[in-house]
Structure 1
Amino acid sequence: MNALFQALADPGNALFGDLESIYQDLHQHPELSMQEVRTAQVAADYIEALGFEVTRKVGITGVVGVLRNGEGATVMLRADMDALPMAENTGLPYASTVRAKDEDGVEVGVAHSCGHDMHVTWLMGAARVLAEHRDAWKGTLMVVFQPGEEVGSGARSMVDDWGTDRFPKPDIILGQHVMVGAAGTVSYRPGVILSAGDSLKIRLFGRGSHGSQPQTSIDPVIMAAATTMRLQTIVSREISPLDSAVLTIGSLQAGTKENIIPDEATIKLNVRTYDEDVREYMLKSIRRICCAECDASGAERPPEFTTLSQYPLTENDAAATQRVADAFKAQFGDNALQAAPASASEDFSVFGRSWNVPYVFWFVGGTDAAVFAQAKADKQVNKIPSNHSPQFAPVIHPTLETGLQAMLSAAFAWLCPAPKA
């Protein structure tokens, strides 16, 4: 295994030239959630040529590849494929100029501003290395290219389409994400590493009227404004300072003209929590406050709640994480770091939660190491363009190499035959 990783670390290795081309191609051709037709085909064709048993269109656009290599553990490696509905502003020569229609039929820019193109490239690289070095490991490798992470429905759609004996059940599920951090580093954590995320749309119903006759209306703008302010008190006044929670109202829409009091207003909000009890309390409090503000305004209809997305906690299995950590320390030395919980959310854990299988998720730094070190020294890390910024752009090298080595190191912790006594 060490000889294999040393060969991978050689800058002259043709593999990395090929993977860089794949990455730039994927970056230039991003696709929205649940529309990842081209990306899925690129990944499926690539692993099929390597000898994987390939199943396409799992959960609409998902791809599952299975490579059987004797007796041993079944290891599942997962990468998400979708891009974001936003225009890129990186100035890169391979920047995306793609535009597409979202689920509402609105034309939007499309960009890989979360790094899923890097994730797909890593997984394709891992599939190639393991397929070409079958003498180095035993077991079954399952690679999963997942759609729709950004809308929180992709993992669930694949699980719902999985079947009972269509694919082997994994013994461990492994995944990783490129993040702001020094390129060349990996960060892991047992237990909770990513928050739960809940997004809601709330419709508040009033009674429209002329702007000159407010006494004949039930003003949903006032209702929405009061609700917005009161919702902020959940975290500041109802959640213990020892717990962590975030409530963000990202959209408040009402009316079309200055002298018309509209019939209704819409609030869209997002909640992040690290504890299931806190999560349940937050969601109940949101309903309580919205209903109370509508009552206070004399609304004739109760508010309408719609769940836009739900992401469970990503809570790494302790024993499996220790196994991964040992592999990382052996591979990366001091560049294997302990991570703090992040307020981002993922649907990666849906696989493990649905099948009662342990999983481990970790981060790979994608920021130029010198840039990150200077920002850290200046206490300006928060100014580095992060995931979902139109300027987010991981440095290709050594991010590409590190992510590939991390995925292989973790996989080898289960796939490598145990040494004989």
Structure 2
Amino acid sequence: MRLKTLLLALVSINLLPLNLLAAADLSEQINKDYHYLDKLYKHLHQTPEISFQEKETAKKIGDELEKLGFDVTRDFGGHGVVGVYQNGDGPTIMIRTDLDALPVRETTGLDYASKKTMKDREGKTTFTMHACGHDIHMTVFTGTARRLIDNKQNWSGTLVMIGQPAEERSGGAKAMLAEGLFEKFPRPDYNLAIHVSADLEAGTIGAVSGFAMANVDSVDIIVKGEGGHGAYPHNTKDPIVLSAQIINSLQTIVSRETSPLEPAVVTVGSIHGGSQHNIISNEVKMQLTLRSYSTEVRKNIISAIRRMTKNLALAAGLPENKIPEVNVLDESTPAAYNNPKLTENVVQRFIELFGENKIFTLKPEMVGEDFGRYGQVEPKIPSLMFRLGTVESSKFERAKTGTERLPTLHSSDFAPDPEPTIKTGVKAMASAALLLLNKQ
């Protein structure tokens, strides 16, 4: 009887696909490697560097890849890092992490909290913090590389692993692509990335099929006028009144000029004009954020802003040379689109590995992420960014009952539960890569 049971067990194991068999062993490997990853995570958490200044962070990530045998290129597209590992014939997979932190003073009270300060691009001293989880991203990225190299007998193809600077300023992906990321290195067949979630329990994963994050545009508007004394408004062209009319009109772009079935946001986040109670100023400055998914909706929103500001200024009696200036800044981010077929296949693997109760279908969001740029390069590359839960279990349960507030991303008290978050992230990303690099 015991012999029959043993034979049945052996047959069952042999029926498993090779890449799933390799993935089944990942948990033990990750547990053994966790001390190394925990040390790396706490180092990265304590040494955050803001966008465009990620010099030491990039060096650390480049060194980690180099130790594993990757061919590493540094200072690519700013402080970007590109590691290439060729392991026979097969598809090319790109795995991306972001490197930068935020100008935030940490208030978590952790014994490894960041106390680091830096000078920003304007020369102002600021505290820095990984308040958006990029330290988790880098640790999972490194752990994934370590698992894939240790299991290279189970896959065939090429790994391109990139450390991207300046995600928070939406400049890093654009700079790396402009420098020739897909021309100077193997062009991916698939792009993969993670992003932490501040409202999913640690040990869980979320994914969106199709549009996951929005086009993001920053727009500056300078509304011009003809200033004067506040007691003689009839002798002026008041830019503050004109700005109020513009702001009201902008609200109709979404409500009356965009299909109700098309997500869109127009938010005026900042308005500054005037200097004193009794002075009508010469100009008002406004800052807007625009959100959309489709390219057509994005173009229509920007066109409507230009049309409305111009015509309202003319209606106020301003000459052509005092039409408001509308400037769409370079720090724009295209929508992040998760390829439905790729998402379906990877999510199915996650369900097999973690169980259906650990995998969640999420709704699209109107936040931005410049990972979307990599999938937009023609011919378009199937891409997937999945979300990684970070919330410690007891906090998550208290939040469900309304007895505890969960810190959001970018807040000074955002503190992931490291061990289950990192272990889940490494297992998920390594398994996704093994699925796509399956050695037949």
Q: Partner of 1:387 in structure 2?
A: 409
- Confirm or deny: 8 A CA contact 1:58 1:162 kept in the other structure: no
With normalisation by structure 2, the TM-score equals 0.88
Alignment partners' CA distance in 2, 1:164 and 1:392: 35
Q: Partner of 1:119 in structure 2?
A: 137
Alignment partners' CA distance in 1, 2:428 and 2:132: 19
1:210 Cα shift?
3.4
Q: Which residue of the other structure, out of 394, 409, 416, is the alignment partner of 1:370? A: 394
TM-align CA RMSD: 2.2
Q: Which residue of the other structure, out of 257, 271, 279, is the alignment partner of 1:260? A: 279
Q: Partner of 2:226 in structure 1?
A: 207
Distance 1:263 1:101, change over 3 A: farther
Alignment partners' CA distance in 2, 1:13 and 1:42: 22
Per mean C-alpha deviation after superposition, the further-off stretch among 398-407 and 314-323 is 314-323
Distance 1:4 1:161, change over 3 A: same
**SS across alignment from 1:337:** strand
Correspondence 1:34-73 to 2 at 5 A: 34-73=52-91
- Confirm or deny: 8 A CA contact 1:77 1:142 kept in the other structure: yes
Q: Supply the AA of the counterpart residue of 1:193.
A: A
Q: Partner of 1:109 in structure 2?
A: 127
Per mean C-alpha deviation after superposition, the further-off stretch among 92-101 and 48-57 is 92-101
Q: Supply the AA of the counterpart residue of 1:372.
A: F
**SS across alignment from 1:201:** strand
1:161 Cα shift?
0.8
- Is 1:403 aligned to residue 425 of structure 2? yes
Q: Partner of 2:324 in structure 1?
A: 303
Q: Which residue of the other structure, out of 105, 113, 117, is the alignment partner of 1:87? A: 105
Alignment partners' CA distance in 1, 2:305 and 2:116: 37
**SS across alignment from 1:310:** coil
Q: Supply the AA of the counterpart residue of 1:302.
A: I
Alignment partners' CA distance in 2, 1:44 and 1:209: 59
Q: Partner of 1:330 in structure 2?
A: 352
Q: Which residue of the other structure, out of 149, 153, 156, is the alignment partner of 2:174? A: 156
For residues 77-115 of structure 1, give each alpha carbon's deviation from its aligned partner in whole angstroms, at most 9, with x where no partner exists: 001111223333323222223333333333333221111
- Confirm or deny: 8 A CA contact 2:26 2:147 kept in the other structure: no
Alignment partners' CA distance in 2, 1:15 and 1:336: 24
Alignment partners' CA distance in 1, 2:261 and 2:182: 42
Q: Which residue of the other structure, out of 365, 371, 376, is the alignment partner of 1:348? A: 371
Q: Supply the AA of the counterpart residue of 1:61.
A: H
Q: Supply the AA of the counterpart residue of 2:324.
A: P
**SS across alignment from 2:184:** coil
Alignment partners' CA distance in 1, 2:237 and 2:246: 14
Q: Supply the AA of the counterpart residue of 1:316.
A: N
1:131 Cα shift?
1.9
**Identity of aligned pairs, percent?**
38
- Confirm or deny: 8 A CA contact 1:198 1:270 kept in the other structure: yes
- Is 1:188 aligned to residue 213 of structure 2? no
- Confirm or deny: 8 A CA contact 2:214 2:291 kept in the other structure: yes
- Confirm or deny: 8 A CA contact 2:31 2:423 kept in the other structure: no
Q: Partner of 1:198 in structure 2?
A: 217
- Confirm or deny: 8 A CA contact 1:139 1:415 kept in the other structure: yes
Q: Partner of 1:232 in structure 2?
A: 251
What count of residue pairs does the alignment treat as equivalent? 416
Alignment partners' CA distance in 1, 2:184 and 2:30: 40
**SS across alignment from 1:58:** coil
Per mean C-alpha deviation after superposition, the further-off stretch among 385-394 and 32-41 is 385-394
Distance 1:360 1:270, change over 3 A: same
Alignment partners' CA distance in 1, 2:35 and 2:311: 60
- Is 1:361 aligned to residue 385 of structure 2? yes
- Confirm or deny: 8 A CA contact 2:84 2:159 kept in the other structure: yes
Q: Which runs of 5+ in 2 are unaligned?
A: 1-18
Q: Partner of 1:13 in structure 2?
A: 31
- Confirm or deny: 8 A CA contact 1:7 1:13 kept in the other structure: no
Alignment partners' CA distance in 1, 2:46 and 2:412: 14
For residues 98-144 of structure 1, give each alpha carbon's deviation from its aligned partner in whole angstroms, at most 9, with x where no partner exists: 33333333333322111111111111111112122222222111101
1:269 Cα shift?
0.9
With normalisation by structure 1, the TM-score equals 0.92
Q: Which runs of 5+ in 1 are unaligned?
A: none
Alignment partners' CA distance in 1, 2:33 and 2:271: 49
For residues 263-294 of structure 1, give each alpha carbon's deviation from its aligned partner in whole angstroms, at most 9, with x where no partner exists: 21111111112333322222222222222332
Per mean C-alpha deviation after superposition, the further-off stretch among 232-241 and 396-405 is 232-241
**SS across alignment from 2:332:** strand
Alignment partners' CA distance in 2, 1:8 and 1:94: 28
Distance 1:208 1:44, change over 3 A: same
Alignment partners' CA distance in 2, 1:164 and 1:146: 14
